[in-house]
């Protein structure tokens, strides 16, 4: 089995993406998770460019990593300046990182037009910088920036820049599609030619670093590996400048499962979705549901024909088992659903449909009617379970609403504030409570919690994490129906509920009440087990 090396640059290149920021403390946490996942190299930043990167290297210099080596990133020496006095080179050494990744220019456009340098001096900068860093006992990787564009413009000079790096002493050449404009056919041809050029040096490691400006970053990385590259650089979730970098959450399972490369253990592969979500949460960026392998929708099935088939054999519509990457199969119930969807979903949610086959058709019909009204159950599985229980006479309400009143007040001295009074019945007990909140839904949430906590103290473990309002048909203006989606979580579960009404408070109450009913039903189920 051929080896493939994984080089993560989330903490440097990933941070160049819009709205992506990690504090030094965040970067340490991420580095630990990357190490636990079996990544071989973790690029921590450019220590000569900002204090945050320098702080990160100070924090990790005495840490022990099980699998990964920490790399510092920087440029070759400045033109016309001795390498021994270059501040950026010295900052790389001062970082005390065991690995240094240094980039140089491969494209004559950058050398002559952007840097206003000479081709000869550029080659000297590459060679001397690498030799100097190696003389200080560091492992040095060379990133050939803009290599593919440079090769297309002047192949002889692009290859000379690689020769300069090898003469400097590195044994790792990373070919970079920095502008992300190359296609897989370009990547394969040029990578093969670069490797062939150094056929007398079989010890050299060739790597690939791609950007996603043509939506080809993953394809280009995989193509380069097919052509002979053995190191792949990328970021988790594809974060990066402009359209992002090659997404390691796609590349890793492709290498391990599709290309049979020795890059990550099966145990660590199963951590992939958790790693993706952890970094997404740390970056405060919502996870992309459609992201291959690790996205929530990656193994979701909606069409009735599809669901019927996977109930017989999942391979019919799944290219891998979702558990291999820590994901899971999902069946979505909507107006496009058939009886197979309902049967699968009921089993998944723990709703017993019994032996009456007609009940499945009844549930399908009811759900189609509700979705025609505006509900959307593929995004609200908590409410879906409750509806299934109601339609099969299995629903046992933990509370019933008697009434509520919400007052919203505004004066010239302060923003709007809300006060809610609620009356609910729990068995033979009636509870009346009131609470304030930052808005009417917040006030209702607080009042309901206060009432329920008298009997169900575990309700305090549940928190609302997302609240979305969508106008279903704007043609009716302010009289239009609205759909409210609430996402809640406790220590072990994340669940969504939904409400639809012409009144936004009524729709919010429906979704809010369902979230509490669902939470309490989960607790009962766990106690029964």
Choice among 91-105, 200-214, 451-465 with the minimum mean pLDDT: 451-465
Query: 349-370 pLDDT, tens per residue?
Result: 888 887 776 777 788 788 888 8
Q: What fold characterizes domain 400-528?
A: Double Stranded RNA Binding Domain (3.30.160)
The whole-number pLDDT of residue 391 equals: 85
- For residue 475, how many other CB atoms are within 10 A of its CB? 8
Please give the mean pLDDT across all residues of the chain: 91
Q: Give the pair of three-digit tokens for residue 184.
A: 């897989």
What is the residue whose two structure tokens read 């919010």? Answer: 508
Query: 168-203 pLDDT, tens per residue?
Result: 999 999 999 999 999 999 999 999 999 999 999 999
Cβ neighbors of 202 (< 8 A, separation 6 or more) are none
User: Mean per-residue pLDDT for 204-224?
Assistant: 98
Query: 129-157 pLDDT, tens per residue?
Result: 999 999 999 999 999 999 999 999 999 99
Residue 336 pLDDT greater than 60, yes or no: no
Note the maximum CA span of the chain.
89
Choice among 19-23, 103-107, 373-377, 499-503 with the minimum mean pLDDT: 373-377
Return the higher-pLDDT residue of 89 and 474.
Answer: 89
Are the C-beta atoms of 367 and 377 separated by less than 8 Å?
Answer: yes
Query: 226-261 pLDDT, tens per residue?
Result: 999 999 999 999 999 999 999 999 999 999 999 999
Query: 480-501 pLDDT, tens per residue?
Result: 889 999 999 887 788 899 999 9
123 pLDDT band (50/70/90 cuts)? very high
- Full-model pTM: 0.76
User: Which of 346, 334, 347, 340 shows the shortest CA–CA distance to 306?
Assistant: 340
The number of C-alpha atoms within 13 Å of 28 and in the hemisphere containing its C-beta is 15
Query: 373-389 pLDDT, tens per residue?
Result: 888 887 788 898 898 88
Query: 397-456 pLDDT, tens per residue?
Result: 999 999 999 999 888 777 888 999 999 999 899 999 999 998 899 999 999 999 999 899
Q: How far apart are CA 424 and CA 403, in angstroms?
A: 7
Percent of the chain with pLDDT over 90: 70
Q: How far apart are CA 399 and CA 382, in angstroms?
A: 16
Domain 5-264 has CATH 3.20.20.70: yes
Q: Where are the domains of the chain?
A: 5-264, 300-391, 400-528
């Amino acid at each position: 089995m051929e080896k493939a090396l994984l080089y993560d640059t989330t903490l440097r290149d990933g941070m160049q993406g819009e709205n992506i920021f990690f504090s030094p403390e965040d970067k340490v946490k991420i580095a630990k998770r990357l190490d636990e996942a079996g990544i071989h190299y973790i690029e921590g930043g450019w220590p000569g460019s900002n204090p945050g990167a320098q702080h990160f290297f100070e924090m990790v210099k005495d840490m022990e990593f099980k699998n990964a080596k920490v790399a510092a990133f920087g440029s070759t020496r400045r033109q016309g300046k001795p390498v021994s006095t270059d501040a950026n080179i010295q900052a790389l050494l001062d970082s005390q990182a065991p690995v240094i990744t240094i980039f140089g220019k491969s494209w004559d456009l950058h050398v002559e037009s952007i840097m206003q340098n000479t081709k000869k001096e550029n080659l000297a900068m590459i060679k001397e910088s690498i030799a100097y860093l190696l003389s200080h006992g560091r492992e040095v990787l060379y990133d050939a920036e803009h290599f593919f564009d440079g090769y297309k413009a002047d192949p002889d000079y692009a290859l000379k820049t690689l020769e300069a790096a090898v003469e400097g002493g590195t044994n790792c050449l990373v070919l970079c599609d920095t502008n992300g404009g190359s296609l897989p056919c370009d990547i394969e041809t040029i990578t093969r030619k670069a490797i062939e050029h150094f056929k007398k040096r079989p010890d050299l490691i060739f790597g690939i670093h791609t950007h996603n400006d043509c939506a080809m970053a993953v394809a280009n990385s995989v193509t380069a590996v097919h052509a002979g590259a053995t190191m792949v650089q990328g970021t988790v979730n594809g974060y990066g400048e402009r359209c992002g970098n090659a997404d390691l959450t796609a590349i890793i399972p492709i290498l391990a499962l599709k290309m049979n490369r020795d890059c990550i253990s099966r145990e660590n592969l199963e951590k992939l979705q958790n790693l993706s979500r952890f970094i997404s949460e740390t970056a405060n960026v919502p996870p992309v549901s459609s992201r291959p392998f690790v996205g929530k929708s990656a193994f979701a099935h909606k069409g009735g024909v599809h669901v019927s088939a996977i109930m017989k054999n999942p391979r019919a519509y799944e290219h891998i088992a979702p558990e291999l990457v820590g994901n899971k199969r999902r069946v979505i119930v909507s107006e496009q659903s058939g009886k197979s969807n309902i049967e699968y979903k009921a089993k998944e949610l723990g709703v017993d449909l019994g032996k009456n086959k007609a009940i499945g058709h009844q549930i399908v019909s009811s759900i189609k009617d509700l979705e025609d009204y505006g509900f959307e159950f593929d995004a609200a599985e908590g409410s879906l379970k409750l509806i299934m229980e109601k339609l099969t006479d299995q629903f046992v309400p933990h509370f019933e609403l008697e009434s509520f009143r919400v007052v919203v007040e505004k004066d010239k001295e302060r923003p709007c504030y809300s006060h809610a009074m609620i009356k609910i019945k729990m068995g033979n007990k009636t509870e009346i409570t009131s609470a304030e909140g930052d808005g009417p839904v917040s006030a209702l949430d607080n009042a309901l919690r206060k009432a329920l906590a008298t009997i169900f103290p575990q309700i305090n473990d549940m928190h609302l994490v997302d609240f979305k309002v969508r106008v279903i048909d704007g043609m009716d203006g302010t009289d239009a129906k609205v759909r409210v989606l609430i996402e809640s979580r406790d220590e072990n579960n994340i669940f969504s509920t939904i409400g639809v009404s012409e009144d936004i408070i009524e729709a919010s109450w429906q979704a809010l009440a369902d979230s509490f009913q669902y939470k309490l039903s989960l607790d009962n189920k766990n106690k029964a087990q």
